[in-house]
Chains A and B, each alone.
Chain A
Amino acid sequence: MAVERGDNERYRTLARRTLMLGGLQAGMISLLVGRMYYLQVVESSRYRMMADDNRISMRLIAPSRGLIVDRAGLVVANNDQNFRTLIVSEQTRDVERTLGVLSGIIQLSASEVERIRHDLTRRRRFVPVTVRENLTWEQVSMIEVNAPDLPGVIIDVGEVRSYPLSDQAAHLVGYVGAVSEDELDDDDPVLALPGFKMGKSGVEKTRDEDLRGKAGTSEMEVNAYGRTIRELSREPGERGRKVVLTIDSELQVAAHNRLMQERSAAAVIMDAQTGAVYALASAPGYDPNVFSKGIPADLWKSLLDDETTPLINKAIGGQYPPGSTFKLVVALAGLESGAIGLDHSVTCNGTFQLGDHTFYCDAYKNGGHGTLNFTEGIARSCDVYFYDVGNRTGIDAIAKVAGLLGLGDRTGLDIPGEHPGTIPSTVWKKAHTGEPWYAGETISCAIGQGQVAATPLQIATMVARLASGGRAVVPHVTKDISGEELPAVEWPKIDFKPEHVEAVLAGMRAATDHGTGKDIQIKEPGMQMAGKTGTAQVHAYTVAERDSGQIAKVDDALPWKLKNHAWFVGYAPEDNPRYVCAVLVEHSGKFGAQAAGPVAHDLLLLTQQRDPARINVSAGRQAEPT
């Protein structure tokens, strides 16, 4: 054991330093252990959450939109199956070949193929790319049959809104469309789903939150590339609630079809007692089925440019001078203000003089109506009678009664797009023009001209409030939501003297009995109506035109936009008011009794024959499609 000289010392140094290194190692290992303890024990729950955030992706499942049905349970807004075909590039060996085969079935245009290729290159290989939406059943079966030649092509079923009544109830039911940027502020996350549609007009918009339903959620496990590995849990959404309308869709369709005989018209049929709207028609309309799939730009432009304004719901959004229908307001205002009594008579010789201005009556050429009492003033719609009453009553008393009858402000109908109309007054004029009111303006307003403007819905509401014996009826189109009846309202009495209201109604009965509306009276026993005609001038006749006695010829020569509006508003049965109907024929160029009256006749007759007040869902409920 001859240990070399110096080796002992060398060994001692080595051993000492090795132990130092070993200690350093132990320290470094402790550092690792401490770090592992910190990560895996102290901070573990935080990292576990981050790991779950990594792998779990929440997906929203779009809820099925609630149906809209009419009062009989007939569906007016439905969910149709939307068959789409998609392609998954990783499942098809040759995309070009597959698209070629597919093109033989559904005729893909060059631009479509271009878009699909673009989408395929941008998405990950396992993400399906939409090839075409809204396939017909034949196309779906063809694709299914050719499945072996179409690897990676899948058919997917979505939902698309459909409107069986098409343009016949377009304005009323409305349509759905893509969610716009500012609508996204709504805190419902379902709105952010790609392709989600929300109500854009009509009942679809007003009741959107009820119809929308609640989104379901699906927890998916995804990998780092976003590919779904499996579903961890699923919470089904809640389908939207069913909205039942007060509308009688058969009556609605009849009203629309009747209006389509005119170039541009609107009609409202409502319940005089409850305010339930049975039909709300505006013609021409548009096809909302096209809208819910996305509106083609050229169609949109042609609808916008059309002077008959098919996009506007004229029944609630069109403001027209009410013409002689406004005389009902003036008559009641005269009585209520005490300016005239029930026995007030006026002698009409064709003109009315105020200062140095002459106002004419329609009967001017025939030497006037002669002496008329209150009832006959309404029945024969004598302008001079109402010039006189208006002049005595004053504009502010007229405006007050107009307001009580629902004019000059939105009635509060539960669909969007209503306009307030205009009822002028001294205060109104001061506020709008800064000028004082002139007595002569009252004369024009007394026959529903001048600044006075109202929607067909307001005119119908006005008559409902009279026919109900002076109740503040408010029109509405929603009957119940998911079986939850909207609270039935006992409309409050308006502070009118009953005999005054009755006197006005008597005037309306006389009008259809022997007055301006006698030719359009309903002949069926027990269904007679009471009503008021109206002819609203757009063009102011010159004295020469009036003196010529050829006003009809003058009218015919006017451009459409300047022709008179024809009005008729009535209720039936005349002895037991139930149904109110207001009809406006825009720029008809004819008298109310000639153009609007026959429409109202047809509609009120049909309404009474159908008696929609008796129809309700429980009687006519239909199996709800799932």
Chain B
Amino acid sequence: MAQITFNEPEPRLSGKIKLLPWIFILLVIAVGAVGGGALYSAANGSFLPWAKPQLIRFGMSLLVMLAFGLVDIRVWFRLSYPAYVVMLAMLAGVEVAGKVGAFGAQRWINLGFVQIQPSELMKIALVMALARYFHARSSEDAKQIRTLVVPVLMILMPTAFVLLQPNLGTAIMLLLAGASMLFVGGARLWLFATVAAVGLAGAPIAWRSMHGYQKRRVMTFLDPSVDPLGAGYHITQSRIALGSGGLFGKGFLHGTQSHLNFLPEKQTDFIFPLLAEEWGLWGGLVLLGAFALLSYYGIGVGLRSRNQFGRMLAIGLSINLFLYVFINTAMVMGLIPVVGVPLPLISYGGTSMLAVMMGFGMLISVLVHRDIKISRRYPLGD
């Protein structure tokens, strides 16, 4: 990137390191450690098969986060559209390959130490692209409906590909994160009301286009007793795990629902009930509080940035994190249907972890470079 020249000089590395938010980083490490502990417990007190690889991936992701945090925000600014285009192409490729290939849905990209789904990276790329788009728009522009055509398409295209995979959880996250960006970016409020009304009217159409298992999940959510041994089993056992944990839990490694395998997918989507069973209400609240702190911290970072790109990027990434946590915990508590969203940094699997850590990295970058101003027409000229 040596040929890139900035209007304002890039701060020195030593200065950047001084600006690193150590409390934020420690909080991230703490959450990652909780994840390692939960996976250790999920394997009945063993680092294998889950805790060890997860902790290694967490360590690598931590380095990625710090590295991302030190990259100048203008680099992220310039990479925004290319990243979005590349991810969209990969999503399309995955979709085509999935259709053509004999091995079913091929959602993975191998990064060596971790395999990652393009749809996960798309969550970040979408936020970056939207942040950049709104960076170049005045508040007057943002009130024009024609201004919103491009960002709406930017949201709907990846959502459509992800829905085709099919991956309802990610599609919902892309939609909600995108909508939040439009909202923060200054789109008119009545637009959201209209879209919500149209969405409700269009629900029957969406229902018809859903896959059988997705319909079943929704039905089961509405009434778990219709399928107590099938899909309803997940929700019922998850609620039993949570409820039986009580105020202070059964103690580390003493959860019966998880250790006796009544709780399905306890190492992935249903890891929160495992934690809440062993640590009780207090443990669950502490973890939720940590996530809330991370999310609000990100919002705070956004509000402190002096460039619109950084503001929107930080806020979008924070909303993204919040959506992960809310959808996962709400679904295991039986508040919303089971849509298959992992609990970031805790659930086993590198995909969401790396995506979330990359996001944290960019968040740090926004913080570190908060005073850098970027012209609305940058880099086309000031």
**Considering only CB atoms, which chain B residue lies closest to A9 in the complex?**
B139
Write out the residue numbers on chain A whose beta carbons fall within 8 Å of the beta carbon of B319. 21
Contact call B240/A47, Cβ cutoff below 8 A? yes
> Interface majority SS on A: helix, strand, loop or mixed?
helix
CB distance from B291 to the nearest CB of A (A): 9
User: Is A33 part of the contact surface with B, judged by Cβ < 8 Å?
Assistant: yes
Contact call A44/B244, Cβ cutoff below 8 A? yes
**Considering only CB atoms, which chain B residue lies closest to A222 in the complex?**
B260
User: Is B157 part of the contact surface with A, judged by Cβ < 8 Å?
Assistant: no
User: Is A400 part of the contact surface with B, judged by Cβ < 8 Å?
Assistant: no
CB distance from B43 to the nearest CB of A (A): 14
User: A229 to B330, alpha carbons, bound, how many Å?
Assistant: 32
User: Is B36 part of the contact surface with A, judged by Cβ < 8 Å?
Assistant: no
Known: A6-B139, A48-B243, A51-B257. A36 touches B284 (CB 8 A): yes
Contact call B239/A17, Cβ cutoff below 8 A? no
Known: A29-B288, A39-B243, A229-B260. A11 touches B311 (CB 8 A): yes
Known: A14-B185, A32-B333. A40 touches B376 (CB 8 A): no
Q: Which residues of chain A from 204 to 223 have any CB-CB distance to chain B below 8 Å in the complex?
A: 221-223
Q: Which residues of chain A from 35 to 66 have any CB-CB distance to chain B below 8 Å in the complex?
A: 35-37, 39-41, 43-44, 46-48, 50-52, 54-55
**Considering only CB atoms, which chain B residue lies closest to A20 in the complex?**
B183
User: A52 to B277, alpha carbons, bound, how many Å?
Assistant: 13
Write out the residue numbers on chain A whose beta carbons fall within 8 Å of the beta carbon of B257. 51, 54-55
Q: Which size class do A's interface residues fall under? A: 35 or more
User: A32 to B331, alpha carbons, bound, how many Å?
Assistant: 10
Known: A31-B335, A51-B240, A229-B260. A40 touches B186 (CB 8 A): no
Write out the residue numbers on chain B whose beta carbons fall within 8 Å of the beta carbon of A47. 239-240, 242-244
Contact call A10/B186, Cβ cutoff below 8 A? yes
Known: A10-B139, A21-B180. A40 touches B243 (CB 8 A): yes
Q: Which residues of chain B from 181 to 238 have any CB-CB distance to chain A below 8 Å in the complex?
A: 183-186, 237
Contact call B315/A44, Cβ cutoff below 8 A? no
Write out the residue numbers on chain B whose beta carbons fall within 8 Å of the beta carbon of A22. 296, 299
Contact call A46/B243, Cβ cutoff below 8 A? yes
Contact call A10/B308, Cβ cutoff below 8 A? yes
Write out the residue numbers on chain A whose beta carbons fall within 8 Å of the beta carbon of B259. 223
Write out the residue numbers on chain B whose beta carbons fall within 8 Å of the beta carbon of A6. 138-140
**Considering only CB atoms, which chain A residue lies closest to B284 in the complex?**
A36
User: Is B46 part of the contact surface with A, judged by Cβ < 8 Å?
Assistant: no
User: Is A551 part of the contact surface with B, judged by Cβ < 8 Å?
Assistant: no
Contact call A18/B138, Cβ cutoff below 8 A? no
Q: Which residues of chain B from 263 to 299 have any CB-CB distance to chain A below 8 Å in the complex?
A: 276, 280-281, 284-285, 288, 292, 295-296, 299
Contact of A36 among B285, B303, B326 (CB under 8 A): B285
Known: A21-B180, A54-B260, A222-B260. A14 touches B308 (CB 8 A): yes
Contacts from B to A (Cβ < 8 Å): 138-140, 142, 180, 183-186, 237, 239-247, 256-257, 259-262, 276, 280-281, 284-285, 288, 292, 295-296, 299, 302-303, 308, 311-312, 315, 319, 322, 326, 329-330, 333-335, 373, 375-376
Interface pairs A-B: 7 shortest CB-CB: A47-B243, A51-B244, A223-B260, A224-B261, A40-B281, A48-B244, A44-B246
20 additional A-B residue pairs with CB within 8 Å, beyond A14-B186, A21-B180: A6-B138, A6-B139, A9-B139, A14-B184, A14-B311, A18-B303, A21-B184, A22-B299, A25-B292, A25-B295, A25-B322, A32-B288, A32-B326, A39-B333, A40-B276, A40-B280, A44-B245, A47-B239, A54-B237, A54-B260
